[in-house]
A and B are shown apart, each in its own frame.
Chain A
Amino acid sequence: MNELAGKIISGDIRSIARGITVIENDDAGSALLLKELYRHTGQAYLIGITGPPGGGKSTLVDKLIKLYRGQKKKVGVLAVDPSSPFSGGAILGDRVRMQQHATDGGVFIRSMGSRGHLGGLALSTSDAAKILDAAGYDIIIFETVGIGQSEVEVAGRVDTTVLVTVPGLGDDVQVLKAGTMEIADIFAVNKADREGVERCVIELGQLLSIKEMDQSTFLPPILQLVAKDNIGVAELASAVGKHREYLMADNRLDQKRKARLKSEVHNIIINRLDKWARARLTREMEAGEDLEGLYQKRTDPYTVAERFIKELQI
């Protein structure tokens, strides 16, 4: 076995950190590392925390770490913040709220820049979770970039999705209507110390009541929290536990994870094809021939694309 993979499985912190860098940068050894680690994964339970920026996600994650540590569970956190589309740089600040756990050997926190990936996570967040999973972390928490209408990817990548919202955003429930409503297994109305909680809870309840449901549907609970004062966090953790039990019954968790694996394979294909297409196009277009031909209407974009695709024999 590859030396790095072995050290990751043994739980060596430096190697776990290195492994995440390898996959994050898509270094040469990335696929090989993930192939070796794959059969050691599947033990961890994955929780996604999503919601608007400033809603208290990081604060909540900090409290959840504390709670799960109290249960002697090892906790991994992957916290994603947006990368600047202009410089490609990023300020990753989620750690600020979780630093009390920095020196706890049972907690591993990693900040990730979205690096241009849309959907609320980084391209490599799921693979980073595999590394933590193989290293023996029991609970892995994803904190997404603040949610908008397209940041729903997390739901397809974790076992339980928690949507954090706050009262008084006005258009907040509006945002939820437009597609994020469906992704929540649990609603956490945070900052319940503020005015407007009741209204927010009622509006969420009304939205939920129009959701299509039958007897086997998990009814997402709507919880009130004051994350900064650790109020409602234990209730949230127990709701996560209930959702997990729901998934364990009737093989729902297996089905969910199988669907996830299928989409992982799909993504690997798409990403490789994308990489190939970029490289292929750069090579061809730099020769200038096709681009000029296209521009002068000697050929058309479909014909050029089809010629490239033929090389792939698909």
Chain B
Amino acid sequence: MPNKIRILIAKPGLDGHDRGAKYIARALRDAGFEVIYTGLRQTPEAIAAAAVQEDVQWVGLSCLSGAHNSLFPRVVQLLKEMNAPDIKVFGGGVIPADDIPGLKAAGIREIFTPGASSQQVVDYINKN
């Protein structure tokens, strides 16, 4: 069996918008990936710990509340501290275009904003 790609989809912070995260989770499942969903209101610490235990290749963060600039880089940082810098972080949500370069500089691989199709996300994972 070819090795399964495992992806953790998580909602950091207090943001309660979970439609996008669930939509992406289903699309990734339908594309053949194993998706671990951790639910709403997760601390970056809990997300990073779960990612390590689940031995995922990717962590997908979803944030629509505007707190992405602090929460996303924190997860990247924690994964490094937990000796797991190889776990790749990407994300999406309501994120102003101006914030994207800063997030990428902080180690977030890619950002998908409203209107992104699930196929784009699946293609991205398959290519990277």
> Does A215 touch B at the CB level, under 8 Å?
no
Question: Which one of B34-42, B63-71, B90-98 is at the interface?
Answer: B34-42
Contact with A along B13-54 (1 / 0, CB 8 A): 000000000000110111111111111001101110110111
Residues in B72-103 with C-beta less than 8 Å from chain A: 82-84
* CB atoms of A26 and B1 under 8 A apart: yes
* Docked CA distance A163–B82 (Å): 37
> Does A13 touch B at the CB level, under 8 Å?
yes
* Docked CA distance A88–B28 (Å): 11
Instruction: Knowing that A96-B37, A97-B39 touch, tell me 6 more A-B residue pairs with CB under 8 angstroms.
Output: A17-B54, A17-B55, A21-B3, A88-B4, A102-B38, A111-B54
* CB atoms of A92 and B55 under 8 A apart: no
* CB atoms of B53 and A87 under 8 A apart: no
* CB atoms of B54 and A90 under 8 A apart: no
Contact with B along A199-217 (1 / 0, CB 8 A): 0000000000000000000
* Docked CA distance A93–B43 (Å): 17
Query: Can you pick out 24 interface pairs between chain A and chain B where the beta carbons lie within 8 Å of each other?
Result: A13-B82, A14-B52, A14-B84, A20-B55, A25-B3, A26-B1, A87-B31, A88-B4, A89-B28, A89-B29, A89-B30, A89-B33, A89-B35, A91-B26, A91-B37, A92-B37, A93-B37, A93-B39, A95-B39, A99-B50, A109-B53, A111-B36, A111-B54, A113-B34
Q: Which of A18, A86, A91, A115 contacts B35 (CB 8 A)?
A: A91
Contact with B along A101-136 (1 / 0, CB 8 A): 011000011110101000000000000000000000
Q: Which B residues are CB-close (under 8 A) to A97?
A: 39
* Docked CA distance A136–B47 (Å): 24
> Does A190 touch B at the CB level, under 8 Å?
no
- Closest residue on chain B to residue A19 by CB atoms: B55
Q: Which B residues are CB-close (under 8 A) to A92?
A: 34-37
Residues of B within 8 A of A (CB): 1, 3-4, 6, 25-26, 28-39, 42-43, 45-47, 49-50, 52-55, 82-84
Q: Which B residues are CB-close (under 8 A) to A83?
A: 34
Q: Which of A20, A87, A110, A115 contacts B29 (CB 8 A)?
A: A87
- The range of chain A's interface size is 20 to 34
- Contact A13 B53, CB 8 Å, known A91-B25, A99-B39, A113-B4: yes
- Closest residue on chain B to residue A104 by CB atoms: B49
* CB atoms of B46 and A102 under 8 A apart: yes
Q: Is the interface of A mostly helix, strand, loop or mixed?
A: mixed
* Docked CA distance A90–B28 (Å): 8
Q: Which B residues are CB-close (under 8 A) to A99?
A: 38-39, 42, 46, 50
Q: Which of A20, A25, A96, A108 contacts B4 (CB 8 A)?
A: A25
Q: Which of A25, A84, A87, A102 contacts B1 (CB 8 A)?
A: A25
Q: Which B residues are CB-close (under 8 A) to A87?
A: 29-32
- Give the Cβ gap from B124 to chain A, nearest Cβ, in Å: 16
- Give the Cβ gap from B6 to chain A, nearest Cβ, in Å: 8
- Give the Cβ gap from A130 to chain B, nearest Cβ, in Å: 16
* Docked CA distance A24–B4 (Å): 9
* Docked CA distance A99–B37 (Å): 10
Q: Which B residues are CB-close (under 8 A) to A16?
A: 53
Q: Which B residues are CB-close (under 8 A) to A96?
A: 37-39
Q: Which of A25, A86, A89, A110 contacts B54 (CB 8 A)?
A: A110
* Docked CA distance A77–B92 (Å): 30
* CB atoms of A89 and B55 under 8 A apart: no
* Docked CA distance A24–B54 (Å): 12
